[in-house]
């Protein structure tokens, strides 16, 4: 429920506070006073597209702020917290939600949800759960088959909602299986070609049988074999320096001489150095042995070994060129085998998927039949109750029927829904899209909302001149039905009819004033004589006419005794 809204710099409104609250709030005012800006402001708080043209002339920006009373827990509170906002606790498990929207004169728009900046899409999400807006454009929307189906589904309540959910689950499953089966059957030749290519690739990789990192190791071996002579010379010189086989002076001989020289000196320090020389002699001997092994290995390897290495490198190189790297070729052995098994299983998969699709089709047919049955049951009840409402809305002879017919299957079911209106006995029912005038369409829409609200209540209804095209007794009944709707939901109506405004428990008047150069509007809550004067203006165009004031008092009296009945 909207508790309060503030408009600043919006259209002709400089700064206005609108106290809302529970029940039925009527908003009236002279033509051009800015009533439309109230609906525009509510639209902005609901995430509608921002238009810099709504910024008041001379102002840098327009701002709309709203305070909503909402449950402290639930989908609305969860969406607010998900967006980073918070509710202000107000007691009894409820909280106040602060929403705002600012539009700069140059076109930028900013939104705030629960004290935190948020994208306008969050406002759209919240609006879907908080508000239902009806204006003349929505009356036109009621002419669409989709809108009529949605209204029927809302009225159907849990039975239709559950049947629709089961149908959509079955529909999604059937379409997914059917799509997969069609892909396999349609692309069978392409899949067979893919299997052939993949089988050849896997055969080539398996024939080479590469190991991870093998190409790097072989490159090192090739480098060594290619430079074998230079390596042999280097290793031989090093070994001769450490331990000569020709009796030449080498490291081992020189270290031995040094050790014997120190042995003749009886000094503890030199004795320690002599022990280190022993260790050096051992290490020189080990290094000489390693170099001898290296030389022996080089002697065993030769051109034949290099040829084998280069042949292996060439085989691995072919795989690298085909697959980008050796690792990718090895990985293909794992992933490709699974894919090949899938492709080779096409015939079996077609058989399995066909069986699954048949089972899914049976389930879908059952779910579709149940949904159609629930809709037909709801359609009968909706037509009867809406017809009762139309009789109360000064259409005593009108009958609304809701036809449910078979249509091509879709995600919404296999039902076409059409609202048919017979304005008087003996008249053939015609689609409301063709057979209802503007005033009749307004009343049909209101009748449907009153009936649907009994099973699918909306926290707040906003009606923008829903009474267009009607007057007299019909207007009184529209006001009476809006008051009835306000018993279970908050109702806000912009109206130009006194017969409608009379039934409101909260009457706001948008007043236009001018200082000669700048026109601005403000909003005033009307009570007592002020309200009577506004009602008189709505009735006759004159707020000080005694006759009009008498008529206004009479209307208020009618509303006071029968407005909620």
Alpha carbon distance 8, 103 (integer Å): 11
Banded model confidence at residue 541, pLDDT cuts 50, 70, 90 = confident
Alpha carbon distance 163, 145 (integer Å): 20
pLDDT at 282 > cutoff 80: yes
Alpha helices in 301-325 (DSSP H): 303-323
Using DSSP's 3-state secondary structure scheme, residue 132 falls into: strand
pLDDT at 565 > cutoff 80: no
Give the bridge partners for 467, in sequence order.
none
Closest Cα partner for 44 from 100, 113, 117?
A: 100
Banded model confidence at residue 564, pLDDT cuts 50, 70, 90 = very low
Closest Cα partner for 556 from 447, 464, 485, 479?
A: 479
- pLDDT value of residue 99: 95
Residue with tokens 């189906």: 149
As a whole-number percent, the residues of the chain with pLDDT over 90 amount to 29
Banded model confidence at residue 225, pLDDT cuts 50, 70, 90 = low
Banded model confidence at residue 519, pLDDT cuts 50, 70, 90 = low
Average of per-residue pLDDT across 291-307: 69
In the DSSP assignment, the letter for residue 488 is T
Query: What confidence tens digit (pLDDT) does each residue in 319-345 have?
Result: 888 888 888 888 888 788 777 777 666
Could you tell me which residues come within 8 angstroms of residue 281 by beta carbon, excluding any fewer than 6 positions away?
252, 255, 256, 259
Measured torsion, CA atoms of residues 51, 57, 60, 65, in degrees rounded to the nearest 10: -60
Closest Cα partner for 343 from 199, 185, 202, 192?
A: 192
Alpha helices in 103-187 (DSSP H): 120-130, 136-141, 145-186
- pLDDT value of residue 338: 77
Residue with tokens 């000489």: 288
* The three-state (H, E, C) secondary structure of 527-545, written as one string: CHHHHHHHHHHHHHCCCCC
**Average pLDDT of the chain?**
84
Query: What confidence tens digit (pLDDT) does each residue in 112-168 have?
Result: 999 999 999 999 888 878 887 766 555 555 677 888 898 899 999 999 999 999 999
Alpha carbon distance 368, 362 (integer Å): 10
pLDDT at 95 > cutoff 60: yes
Query: What confidence tens digit (pLDDT) does each residue in 259-268 have?
Result: 888 877 778 8
- pLDDT value of residue 562: 35
pLDDT at 236 > cutoff 80: no
Alpha carbon distance 273, 260 (integer Å): 12
Give the bridge partners for 517, in sequence order.
none
Alpha carbon distance 26, 28 (integer Å): 7
Whether the predicted model's global pTM rises above the 0.85 cut = no
- pLDDT value of residue 350: 80
Query: What confidence tens digit (pLDDT) does each residue in 39-61 have?
Result: 888 889 988 888 888 888 888 99
Per the CB < 8 A criterion, the answer to whether 463 and 135 are in contact is yes
* The three-state (H, E, C) secondary structure of 202-213, written as one string: HHHHHHHCCCCC
* The three-state (H, E, C) secondary structure of 386-451, written as one string: HHHHHHHCCCCCCEEEEEEEEEEEECCEEEEEEEEEECCCCCCCEEHHHHCCHHHHHHHHHHHHHH
Closest Cα partner for 487 from 505, 473, 501, 499?
A: 505
Cα atoms found within 13 Å of the Cα of residue 413, Cβ hemisphere only = 29
Per the CB < 8 A criterion, the answer to whether 563 and 502 are in contact is yes
**Winning range, highest mean pLDDT, from 2-11, 363-372, 418-427:** 363-372
Q: Give the full edge-to-edge strand order of the sheet including 399-410.
A: 399-410, 413-422, 430-431
Banded model confidence at residue 298, pLDDT cuts 50, 70, 90 = low
- CA angle (21 as vertex; 17, 26 as ends), nearest 5: 75
Per the CB < 8 A criterion, the answer to whether 277 and 262 are in contact is yes
Average of per-residue pLDDT across 222-251: 72
Query: What confidence tens digit (pLDDT) does each residue in 400-435 have?
Result: 999 999 999 999 999 999 999 888 887 888 888 676
Q: Phi and psi dihedrals of 202, rounded to 5?
A: -65, -35
Q: Phi and psi dihedrals of 136, rounded to 5?
A: -65, -30
- pLDDT value of residue 16: 87
- pLDDT value of residue 229: 61
CB-neighbour burial class of residue 45 (10 A; exposed 0-12, middle 13-18, buried 19+):
buried
- pLDDT value of residue 220: 77
- CA angle (25 as vertex; 19, 29 as ends), nearest 5: 85
pLDDT at 526 > cutoff 80: yes
| Tokens found for residue 172 | 């999604």
Could you tell me which residues come within 8 angstroms of residue 492 by beta carbon, excluding any fewer than 6 positions away?
2, 20, 25, 27, 42, 460, 461, 462, 463
| Higher per-residue pLDDT: 561 or 523 | 523
């Amino acid at each position: 429920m909207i508790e309060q809204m503030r408009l600043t710099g919006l259209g002709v409104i400089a700064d206005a506070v609108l106290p809302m609250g529970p029940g039925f709030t009527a908003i009236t005012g002279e033509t051009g006073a800015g009533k439309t800006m109230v609906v525009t402001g509510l639209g902005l708080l609901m995430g509608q597209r921002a238009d810099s043209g709504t910024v008041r002339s001379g102002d840098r920006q327009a701002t709309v702020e709203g305070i909503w009373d909402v449950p402290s827990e639930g989908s609305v509170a969860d969406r607010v917290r998900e967006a980073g906002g918070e509710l202000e606790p107000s007691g009894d498990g409820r909280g106040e939600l602060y929403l705002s929207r600012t539009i700069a004169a140059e076109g930028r728009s900013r939104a705030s949800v629960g004290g935190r900046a948020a994208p306008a899409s969050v406002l759209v999400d919240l609006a879907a759960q908080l508000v239902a807006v009806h204006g003349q454009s929505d009356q036109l929307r009621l002419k669409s088959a989709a809108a009529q189906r949605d209204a029927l589904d809302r009225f159907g309540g849990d039975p239709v909602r559950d049947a629709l959910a089961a149908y959509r689950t079955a529909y999604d499953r059937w379409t997914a299986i059917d799509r997969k089966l069609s892909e396999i059957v349609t692309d069978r030749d392409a899949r067979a070609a893919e299997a052939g290519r993949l089988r050849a690739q896997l055969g080539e990789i398996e024939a080479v049988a590469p190991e991870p990192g093998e190409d790097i190791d072989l490159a090192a071996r090739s480098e060594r074999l290619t430079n074998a002579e230079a390596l042999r010379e280097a290793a031989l010189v090093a070994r001769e320096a450490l331990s000569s086989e020709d009796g030449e002076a080498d490291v081992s001989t020189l270290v031995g001489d040094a050790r014997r020289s120190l042995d003749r000196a009886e000094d503890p320090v030199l004795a320690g150095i002599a022990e280190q020389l022993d260790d050096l002699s051992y290490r020189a001997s080990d290094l000489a042995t390693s170099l001898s092994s290296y030389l022996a290995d080089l002697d065993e390897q030769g051109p034949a070994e290099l040829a084998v290495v280069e042949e292996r490198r060439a085989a691995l190189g072919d795989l690298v060129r085909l697959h980008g790297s050796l690792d990718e070729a090895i990985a293909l052995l794992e992933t490709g085998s699974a894919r090949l098994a899938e492709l080779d299983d096409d015939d079996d998969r077609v058989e399995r998927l066909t069986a699954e699709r048949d089972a899914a089709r049976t389930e879908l047919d059952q779910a579709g039949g149940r949904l159609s049955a629930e809709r037909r049951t709801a359609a009968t009840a909706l037509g009867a109750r809406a017809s009762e409402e139309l009789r109360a809305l000064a259409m005593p002879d009108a009958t609304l029927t809701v036809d449910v017919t078979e249509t091509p299957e879709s995600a919404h079911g296999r039902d076409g829904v059409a609202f048919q209106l017979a304005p008087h006995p003996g008249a053939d029912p015609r689609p409301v899209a063709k057979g209802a005038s503007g005033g009749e369409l307004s009343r049909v829409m209101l009748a449907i909302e009153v009936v649907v609200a009994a099973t699918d209540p909306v926290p707040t209804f906003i009606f923008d001149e829903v009474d267009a095209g009607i007057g007299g007794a019909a207007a009184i009944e529209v006001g009476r039905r809006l008051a009835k709707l306000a018993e279970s939901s908050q109702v806000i109506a912009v109206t130009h009819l006194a017969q409608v405004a009379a039934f409101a428990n909260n009457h706001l008047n948008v007043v236009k004033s001018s200082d000669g150069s700048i026109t601005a509007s403000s909003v005033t809550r009307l009570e007592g004589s002020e309200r009577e004067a506004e009602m008189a203006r709505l009735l006759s165009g004159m707020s000080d006419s005694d006759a009009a004031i008498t008529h206004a008092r009479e209307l208020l009296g009618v509303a006071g005794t029968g407005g909620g009945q």
